[in-house]
Amino acid sequence: MKDDDAVFTSYRALYEEAERQLADLSLDEEQALCPLYHALRRVEKRYGEETLIGRGGMKEVFKVYDEHTERFVALARPREGVPIERYDSFLREAHITARLEHPNIINLFDMGIDERMRPFFTMEFKRGQSLRKILSALRKGEAEERFPYEARLSILLRVCDAMSYAHSRRVLHLDLKPDNIQVGTFGEVQVCDWGMGEVERDGDEEQDSVALLDPDLYGDQLEASIKGTPGYMAPELSTPRATKTPATDIYSLGCLLFELSTLHRPSRRHKLSDASPAVAAIVEKACAEDPADRYPNVQALREDVKRHLMGYSVEVENAGVVREVRLFFRRNRQLCVISLVFIAFALTAAVWFTQKLSASHHRTTEALARTEEALVGADAARARAEEALERQRQEREFAMAVFESREDIPEANVLFLIDFLMVKESISLPVIDNAMAALQRGFESNPPPTDRRWTIMAHVLFMTQRFEESERYYAIRQGSQKSIRDLIPEFAPLVAEDGLLPVDEFIRLLKTLSLDSKSRYPLMEKMIIYDSLKRKSLRDTARILRVMLELSNRGWRSREFAYDRKNGHLRVSGKGLRSLYRKGARRTEKLVPVRSLLRLLPLRSLDISGSDIDDLWNLDGLDLENLDIRGTPVVDLEPLNGMVGLRRLVIEPGQFDRGQLAVLRGLVEVVETTDDGR
């Protein structure tokens, strides 16, 4: 116990000695001990040199340095010449902003009276730009990478968060517009300029009595004036003393959604056709003339916008089954496309495989019947049956190889792979290389010169523009392909380092093949498909396709073929243009399908107006968004139902009756217009 008392006495003596030393500190020692405190004491003027950054109708905003907090802030004060009776209107913005603490609402730091007896307040100084400047840049084709459609609507979601919070505090903004929304350098969003804001009365006696102590927060309710921004101002604001409610801000949010989604000014809101069906429905609901018909609160509007961004139908859209299916497809586009391709390929392979099995079974049955009728031919019939069963085994092996993407495809099936899968566009350069490797392995057994595989290999090598290699196989067996082989000496030396002929020489080769007495158009089509897989220039591919269409439509006059790579648009027209297939192709062909030659170009929009195309099956293989068929002899629109992505069809007034248009089942917007756009 005595030891504890001694320790306590010792500590107490040390504290008393420290207090005596602190009391005897000089000014310099005290400043060294508390530098931040003395630095704050030395500040005579809190806000440093001013730099003008903005000017409004009643106030000016400056960038100043706050010596107390050692940071830049934005300082606002009335403009020169504003009378003192307008000072309370100026301070209303500070009072209202001070009530709101939210990440998406600008923060108020300080307010007071300067040396010239003018009120001021300070706020966050944000580095960035207003949403108005961003929209102006987007209209000029700039800033699209930084602010795509989804990013712009995400800005609206954060504005909705701010307004939902403000309304919970009974605060109305009443001047929401892109100029009053600040987007920071790192994507932060803040609602600014609450100068026209008001506090909403809610009829609660206790709340009203408190509010009466702060009457300036209710704005100029007795002043018969109209305030707001045209285009964003709700209809009820045209009556000066009309009651303001959250529905007034919801109207402005609807206008903001329209401009963010379409990049059109709200004054052109009649162009809702430029917006998606979901956005059009949201805007119509939010901008209803009667406030009672608008969204009940900001959160409900926000939920619909969020659902739209996630790819779902919105509450106010009343989407039908077809619309829901389309939205599901867009949300899961890759999975759906893969599934559809796999199903189509599986069905095609199954049909082909079944036909082959049926044929094999029929041949086997005939062989057995002949065996029963004539015992003399028993050995021969048995041999034919075994041969049929072997073909059946090979076909099954090939089908499994296709499904499992194996490389050991029997060489006897290579031509099927080239003819069917290539035209079906289910092929790639590695698949062709694997097929040729499979065929090449067949030569390890050194087949005799009479074996047809020599000609097949030469034919495939010619198709892939490997002319010198092709000649080595033709030299052993050329079969009936002498006219093709004769072209090798002329074109082999012209092949460039990339393994392709220059585009002009390739076009000349196609024209030469078209003059062959035997129809070489199937070979020409496969050569074009292979060339398009390797050739990097879409402009060159478009030239090649134009020539192929000219060769397939010998009577084509007043030819038009204009391809816009940037917008994915093609204009192809002219009298005598009747087919978009290769010459001699039949759509009803079962084994080797027929597809439009134009599928080799990435297209979103196609204009065939004024052509003689009368069958829309010519578009098989295309997935278009817009199609113009004015002035064509088309009668049946049923083929368009296979275009899942088609959204807009342009026709002439009276070109189709209601019955013909009914086959589209309302899935496509039909626009009737003349050539001059009327």
Nearest CA to 500 out of 538, 530, 470, 469 is that of 530
Q: Higher-confidence residue: 47 or 183? A: 183
Choose the final residue of a domain: 303, 331, 359: 331
Residue with tokens 């290999």: 457
CATH number where 312 lies: 1.10.510.10
Residue 95 and residue 112: Cα distance in Å, rounded? 12
Residue 606 is predicted with a pLDDT of: 96
> What DSSP string describes 268-319?
GTT-GGGS-HHHHHHHHHHT-SSGGGS-SSHHHHHHHHHHHHTTPPPTTT--
- Partners of residue 651 on adjacent β-strands: 672
Residues 530 and 415 in one domain: yes
The mean per-residue pLDDT over the stretch 237-266 comes to 88
| For residue 391, pLDDT beyond 50 | no
40 vs 255, higher pLDDT: 255
Please check whether residues 251 and 268 belong to one and the same domain. Answer: yes
Which amino acid is it at 581?
Answer: Y
Report if residue 264 sits inside a domain. yes
| pLDDT surpasses 90 at 106 | no
Query: Would residue 240 count as lying in a domain?
Result: yes
Are 673 and 573 part of one and the same domain? yes
- Same domain, yes or no: 595 and 515: no
What integer pLDDT is reported at residue 203 of this predicted model? 53
pLDDT category at 120 given cuts 50, 70, 90 is very high
Determine the average pLDDT of the residues in 583-596: 69
Other beta carbons within 10 Å of 580: 29
8 Å CB contact between 76 and 47 = no
Out of 19-28, 195-204, 277-286, 484-493, pick the least confident.
Answer: 19-28
pLDDT tops 90 at residue 81:
no
220 has a pLDDT exceeding 70: no
Which pLDDT score, from 0 to 100, does residue 625 have? 93
Instruction: Say if residues 532 and 541 touch (Cβ distance below 8 Å).
Output: yes
Is the confidence at residue 589, as pLDDT, over 60?
A: no
Domain that residue 481 falls in: 407-535
Picking from 72-81, 187-196, 335-344, 424-433, which range would have the lowest pLDDT averaged per residue?
Answer: 424-433
pLDDT at site 406? 43
Judge whether 166 lies within some domain.
yes
Task: Give the strands of the sheet with 189-191, arranged side by side.
Answer: 128-130, 181-184, 189-191
Average pLDDT value for residue range 300-319: 80
Verify that 447 and 555 share a domain, yes or no. Answer: no
Give the burial string for 519-539 (b: 16+ CB within 10 Å, else e): ebbebbbbbbbbbbbebeeee
Do 524 and 418 share a domain, yes or no? Answer: yes
Q: What is the pLDDT of residue 205?
A: 39
pLDDT value of position 568? 93
Across the strands, what pairs with 307?
Answer: none
- Looking at residues 473-493, what average pLDDT do you find? 92
Opening angle at CA 514, ends 508 and 520, nearest 5: 120
pLDDT given for residue 531 in this prediction? 92
pLDDT at 248: 93
Structure tokens at 178: 């892109």
- Mean pLDDT lowest among 72-81, 90-99, 161-170, 317-326: 317-326
Q: How is 537-585 classified by DSSP, letter by letter?
A: -HHHHHHHHHHHHHHH-TT--S-EEEEETTTTEEEEE-TT---SSPTT-
The count of C-alpha atoms lying within 13 angstroms of the C-alpha of 27, restricted to the half-sphere facing its C-beta, is: 1
Is residue 258 located within the same domain as residue 312?
yes
Rounded Cα distance between 207 and 200, Å, is 11
Helix (H) or strand (E) holding 33: helix 27-33
> What does the DSSP 8-state code read for residue 384?
H
Whether the pLDDT of residue 445 is over 70: the answer is yes
pLDDT surpassing 50 at residue 280: yes
Give the chain's end-to-end CA distance (angstroms, integer): 108
Domain total of the chain: 4
Q: Is residue 302 part of a domain?
A: yes
Is residue 636 domain-resident?
A: yes
Residues 560 and 600 in one domain: yes
- On whether the CB atoms of residues 410 and 438 are closer than 8 A, the answer is yes
Using alpha carbons, list the distances in angstroms from residue 398 to 346, 414, 417, 634.
13, 10, 10, 41
Answer whether residue 224 shows pLDDT above 80. Answer: no
Q: Quick one: what percent of the chain has pLDDT higher than 70?
A: 74
Query: Do 575 and 557 meet the contact criterion of CB atoms below 8 Å apart?
Result: yes
Q: Calculate mean pLDDT across residues 548-573.
A: 93
Q: Are 648 and 625 in contact (CB under 8 A)?
A: yes
Domain end call among 535, 570, 599: 535
The pLDDT value given to residue 668:
86
Same-domain status, 238 and 297 = yes
Q: Is position 366 within any domain?
A: no
**pLDDT at residue 503 above 90?**
yes
By the 10 Å C-beta count (0-12 exposed, 13-18 middle, 19+ buried), 544 is classed as: buried
Quickly state the pLDDT bin for 475 (edges 50, 70, 90): very high
- Residue 10 makes CB contacts below 8 A (sequence gap 6+) with none
Please report, to the nearest 10 degrees, the dihedral formed by the alpha carbons of residues 228, 232, 236, 239 taken in order. 30
* Least trusted range by pLDDT, from 56-60, 130-134, 156-160, 451-455: 56-60
* pLDDT value at residue 183: 92
Q: Are residues 590 and 526 in the same domain?
A: no
* Residue 428 confidence (pLDDT): 65
Domain with residue 544: its CATH number is 3.80.10
Give mean pLDDT, residues 505-527. Answer: 90
pLDDT, tens digit, for every residue of 171-181? 999 889 999 99
**Mean residue pLDDT across the chain:** 79
Contacts 24+ apart (CB under 8 A), 330-337: none
* pLDDT of 642 over the 50 cut: yes
Residue 571: pLDDT over 90? yes
Check whether 136 has a pLDDT greater than 50: yes
**How, if at all, do strands 59-66 and 51-55 pair?**
antiparallel
CB 181 within 8 A of CB 147: no
| Per-residue pLDDT, 18 | 59
Which amino acid type is present at position 432?
A: I
Residue 217 DSSP one-character state: G
Question: Please, are residues 579 and 603 in contact by the beta-carbon 8 Å criterion?
Answer: no
Of 303 and 379, the structure prediction assigns the larger pLDDT to 303
pLDDT in tens, 544-558: 999 999 999 999 998
Q: CB atoms < 10 A from the CB of 507, how many?
A: 18
Instruction: Evaluate whether 483 touches 518 at the Cβ level (below 8 Å).
Output: yes
Note whether 514 and 545 are same-domain residues.
no
Rounded CA-CA distance 578/612 in Å is: 5
The whole-angstrom distance between residue 12's C-alpha and the CA centroid of its chain comes to 75
pLDDT above 90 as % of the chain: 33
- What pLDDT is attached to residue 401? 47
Tens digit of each residue's pLDDT (9 = 90 or more) over 646-656: 999 999 999 99
Of the three residues 312, 331, 350, the one that is the final residue of a domain is: 331
Q: CA–CA distance from 269 to each of 135, 230, 231 (Å)?
A: 16, 12, 9
Please report the pLDDT score of residue 154 as a whole number: 92
- Whether residues 506 and 614 share a domain: the answer is no
Q: How far apart are CA 309 and CA 158, in angstroms?
A: 14
Which pTM value belongs to this model?
0.45
Tell me which residue of 166, 156, 150, 155 sits closest to 105, measured CA to CA: 166
Q: Which of the two residues, 644 and 381, has the higher pLDDT score? A: 644
Q: For residue 32, tell me if it sits in a domain.
A: yes
Is 453 a member of any domain? yes
* 134, 154 Cβ separation under 8 angstroms: no
User: Residues 672, 673, 674, CA angle at the centre, nearest 5°?
Assistant: 140
- Confidence grade of residue 319 (pLDDT, cut at 50, 70, 90): low
